Amino acid sequence: MTDLLTVKNLTKSFDESGPVVDGLDFTVREDEIFALLGPSGCGKTTCLRLIAGFERADRGSVEIAGKLLESPDHHIAPQNRGIGFVFQDYALFPHLSALENVAFGLTDIPKHKRNVYAEEVLCRTGMGDYKDRSPNELSGGQQQRVALARAIAPKPKFVLLDEPFSNLDAMLRDSMRKEVRSILKKAGMSALLVTHDQEEALSFADRIAVMNDGKIEQIGTPEEVYYQPKTKFVAQFLGRTNLFHADANGGSEINTGLGRMRLNCNACGKVLCSIRPEHLTLEKATNEHPDEIGKVVSREFKGHDITYHVELNDRKYLVHTDNRVIFEPDDSVVIKPLESAVILEDEN
Ligand code: ATP
């Protein structure tokens, strides 16, 4: 796949407090959906605004299909960048109906066909019945769906999505993610999604850049950032995990508080490791290794699965199992790893 968007060393400060976007490097490939995932305030929206052309870069560059759009001494106006946007606050034209909002940008389509096509896209985002309403007659979630329809209708090569599903309830969010993903993929559009919701990034994107404090900590597929996190921040931000220190001796196994465990790579010295709760399982304790016997402290039944909180040698571990209730609080158990533990780059 060829690169469509190339961001190099992108840096932006607003005041003396230091850069909010700090030397970002990443590429979005043709036909790829790429997510910038990070906590509130880490600089995601600022990065998107730099790519869109609403902010000026202090350092670095933004290119699309080899064309320079942004650098400290070069600036192409937002309307000339050929990018579609869905803003956090929707930014619909207040005096136009939902249909007119979507039809507005369809200047490449003959006039008599515009409304038919605009209605078709509105129907795909579930808003066909509301086509004649103006934005102030629509709920936040409905405005968000019109904004999505308006951004993708002209089939831009590249679309920027800033928290585009944030105002939808859980069920609608799920179906809209699937629908928008399928529209983007069918039309061969690339997208850059900004979100603080790890489940959204994992289910919607082909690749994810995990951001923390203006910097990218890791880029990878959803499986890579979830199961092979490189840093403690990535391990913890992507979901619940078990962190523990251990002494590695250069081999592929390690002695941990959970007994011997395989590692994802060879390392020496004191290391910080992570293993996801679903990569551990519980067995009924026997007296064979008394120092490895833990106690179930509590359990969370969540319908499709169960999370057990287990205490072992004064440490708490999380273990995810399927939804058959086998253990009760106070049961004696042994924690067994099903997969390798991952060594994190930050030691502490
Ligand atoms: P959220 O998920 O809450 O939208 P974010 O990761 O998108 O957060 P940004 O909106 O990019 O974060 O903001 C990053 C930092 O830059 C914040 O501390 C914010 O207060 C600051 N900031 C953003 N825009 C400006 C501005 N125009 N002037 C001064 N500071 C700003």
- In a 13 Å sphere around the CA of 308, the CA atoms on its Cβ side amount to 30
Long-range contact list for 131-137, CB < 8 A, 24+ apart? 131/97, 131/98, 131/99, 132/97, 132/98, 132/99, 133/97, 133/98, 134/94, 134/95, 134/96, 134/97, 134/98, 135/90, 135/92, 135/93, 135/94, 135/98, 135/101, 136/94
**Is 260 within a domain?**
yes
> How many domains are there within the chain?
2
Interval 92-113: pLDDT, tens: 999 999 999 999 989 888 988 9
Q: What pLDDT, on the 0 to 100 scale, is given for residue 275?
A: 94
Last residue of a domain, one of 205, 227, 249: 227
In a domain, 347, yes or no: no
Residues 183 and 255 occupy one common structural domain: no
pLDDT of residue 107: 86
The reported pLDDT for the residue numbered 267 is 75
- What's the whole-model pTM score? 0.89
Which atom of ligand 1 is nearest to 48's Cα?
A: 11
Burial code (b: 16+ CB inside 10 Å, e: under 16) for 79-98 equals eebebbbbbbebebeeeebb
Do 215 and 270 share a domain, yes or no? Answer: no
Q: Are residues 54 and 154 in the same domain?
A: yes
Domain assignment present for residue 62? The answer is yes
Structural domain includes residue 115: yes
Q: Are residues 33 and 135 in the same domain?
A: yes
pLDDT reported for residue 123: 92
Give the residue from 195, 227, 259 where a domain finishes.
Answer: 227
pLDDT at 274: 94
Specify the pLDDT at position 346.
67
Residue 232 lies in a domain: no
Q: Residue 22 C-alpha to ligand 1 middle, in angstroms?
A: 13
| Residues 147, 296 within the same domain | no
Segments of the chain with pLDDT less than 50: 348
Give the domain extent around 252. 240-340
Closest residue by Cα to atom 2, ligand 1, is 40
Ligand 1 residue neighbourhood (C-beta within 6 Å): 14, 20, 38, 40-46, 196
CA 117 to ligand 1 centroid distance, Å: 36
**Which of 16, 22, 45 has most ligand 1 atoms within 8 Å of its beta carbon, as the pocket-test mutant?**
45
CA of 21 to the centre of ligand 1 (A): 9
Q: What is the tens place of the pLDDT at every residue in 179-217?
A: 889 888 988 899 999 999 999 999 999 999 999 999 999
Strands 158-162 and 190-195: parallel
The best mutation among 10, 46, 89, 215 to test binding of ligand 1, ranked by most ligand atoms within 8 Å of the C-beta, falls on 46
Residues 137 and 259 grouped into a single domain: no
Q: Which amino acid is at 76?
A: I
